[in-house]
């Protein structure tokens, strides 16, 4: 008797990409359903499966041809991407990007991507204002454009600009209750002349939890909706720990409208960060919305499983120097765009969290309960054939 699982096994043995094999499995299932629905009388499973397989065989031939044509016409014309020799990402502990947590499960962010996303491609964008080695943006917005952006932000805040100062990095504008710093990158920082006391947090102090910050963020988005300019704000609320063991909360919103790809782009390129001081007062709002209109193309990406194998082979980027990732030490993965701005392109990476020793971090710390360290390692999500080596 013909066995559907046998055909799936044969498909798995085809020398082709995982994406292609997944499509063929999907077509087989669709053809079986189609043949069943066309039958008005009882038929044997052999005939149904046989007809479905025959149809899929024809489809496979066409799919191979179409895949070849698509690959030649689309992916072969994509520019090669330059990957960095080292990442310009600095963490809070010893210059390395290390998160201090009790357990990796505490790290729960608003990133719309997850391991079941099954994305085939993601866009890569030209960075219009790449930073030099000192962090100074090159190119980007003109002075006229930054002046116009300052006027727009002042209007969003219902304030009047009293003075503007042009700087090498961009523009500073003085308002009544705020000061604006506008970079050539398009990033905007709104500083409060007097920090804002948040009544919902005032009495909680270190006892504040995620639900408290959810309410606070919802209220702030309502108050600063003109500044946010978001159709459907998503919440990105998370924390790690300071060296003394206190939670260090990060409170952000991002554009969460559209399909999954659009939400991923919104999560990285259309954000509003609310920064609190040690007294739980709001004193800075950062608006990150770079111009990403110059899309190089949609690049095929590898799976997180493939990226982990690349990581374990030692092909990665990190500021962590003490630890080489081993299989049992890889605890979590996210998909993330590098938005630090030092590189020529905004491209996607897989971001791995790997357990690292914390003895050096705690050398000078006299606390009883020590936390676990998770170093961050990056592997390009774009297929290797599209990367310069």
Q: How confident is the model at residue 263 (pLDDT cuts 50, 70, 90)?
A: very high
Residue 65: predicted pLDDT: 44
pLDDT tens for 29-77 read: 554 444 444 444 344 444 444 444 444 444 444 444 444 444 445 566 8
Residue 209 is classified by DSSP as -
Percent of the chain at pLDDT exceeding 70: 75
Residue 222: predicted pLDDT: 96
By C-alpha distance, which of 79, 282, 286 is closest to 185?
286
Cα–Cα distance measured from residue 106 to residue 86, given in angstroms and rounded to the nearest whole number: 28
Residue with tokens 């090159």: 138
Residue 1: predicted pLDDT: 38
What's the whole-number mean pLDDT along residues 131-141? 91
What's the whole-number mean pLDDT along residues 154-165? 96
Residue 225 is classified by DSSP as H
What's the whole-number mean pLDDT along residues 138-146? 94
Cα–Cα distance measured from residue 96 to residue 88, given in angstroms and rounded to the nearest whole number: 10
- Work out the burial of residue 115: count CB atoms within 10 Å of its CB; fewer than 13 is exposed, 13-18 middle, 19 or more buried: exposed
Domains of the chain: 4-73 (no CATH), 80-127+298-386 (no CATH), 143-288 (3.30.310)
Structure tokens at 300: 């095929």
Query: Which is higher by pLDDT, 56 or 186?
Result: 186
Beta strands, E only, 13-62: none
pLDDT tens for 320-361 read: 987 889 999 999 999 999 998 888 899 999 999 999 988 777
How far from each other are the two terminal CA atoms of the chain, in whole angstroms?
50
Residue 77: predicted pLDDT: 86
Residue 198 has pLDDT above 80, yes or no: yes
Residue 27 has pLDDT above 60, yes or no: no
Q: How confident is the model at residue 3 (pLDDT cuts 50, 70, 90)?
A: very low
pTM greater than 0.75 = yes
């Amino acid at each position: 008797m013909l066995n559907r699982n046998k055909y799936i096994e044969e498909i798995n043995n085809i020398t082709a990409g995982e994406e292609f094999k997944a499509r063929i499995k999907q077509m087989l299932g669709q053809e079986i359903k189609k043949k069943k629905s066309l039958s008005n009388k009882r038929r044997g499973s052999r005939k149904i499966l046989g007809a479905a397989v025959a149809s899929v065989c024809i489809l496979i031939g066409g799919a191979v041809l179409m895949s070849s044509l698509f690959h030649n016409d689309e992916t072969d014309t994509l520019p090669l991407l330059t990957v960095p020799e080292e990442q310009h990402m600095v963490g809070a502990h010893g210059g390395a990007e290390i998160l201090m947590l009790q357990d990796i499960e505490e790290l729960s962010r608003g990133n719309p991507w997850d391991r079941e996303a099954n994305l085939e491609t993601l866009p890569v964008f030209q960075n219009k204002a790449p930073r030099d080695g000192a962090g100074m943006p090159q190119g980007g917005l003109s002075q006229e454009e930054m002046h116009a952006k300052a006027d727009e932000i002042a209007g969003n805040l219902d304030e009047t600009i009293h003075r503007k100062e042009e700087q090498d990095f961009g523009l500073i504008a003085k308002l009544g209750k705020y000061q604006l710093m506008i970079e050539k990158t398009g990033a905007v920082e709104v500083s409060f002349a007097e920090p804002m006391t948040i009544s919902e947090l005032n009495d909680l102090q270190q006892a504040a939890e995620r639900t408290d910050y959810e309410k606070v963020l919802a209220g702030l988005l309502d108050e600063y909706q003109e500044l946010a300019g978001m159709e459907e704000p998503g919440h990105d609320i998370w924390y790690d720990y300071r060296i003394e063991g206190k939670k260090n909360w990060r409170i952000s919103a991002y554009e969460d409208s559209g399909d999954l790809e659009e939400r991923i782009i919104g999560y990285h390129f259309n954000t509003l960060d609310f920064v609190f001081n040690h007294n739980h007062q709001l004193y800075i709002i950062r608006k990150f919305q770079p111009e990403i209109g110059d899309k190089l193309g949609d690049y095929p990406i590898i799976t997180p499983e493939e990226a982990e194998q690349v990581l374990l082979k030692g092909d990665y980027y990190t500021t962590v120097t003490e630890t080489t990732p081993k299989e049992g030490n890889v605890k979590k993965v996210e998909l993330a765009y590098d938005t630090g701005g030092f590189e020529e392109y905004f491209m996607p990476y897989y971001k791995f969290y790997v357990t690292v020793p914390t003895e050096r971090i705690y050398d000078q710390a006299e606390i009883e309960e020590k936390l676990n360290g998770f170093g961050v390692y990056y592997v390009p999500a774009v297929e290797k054939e599209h990367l310069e080596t």
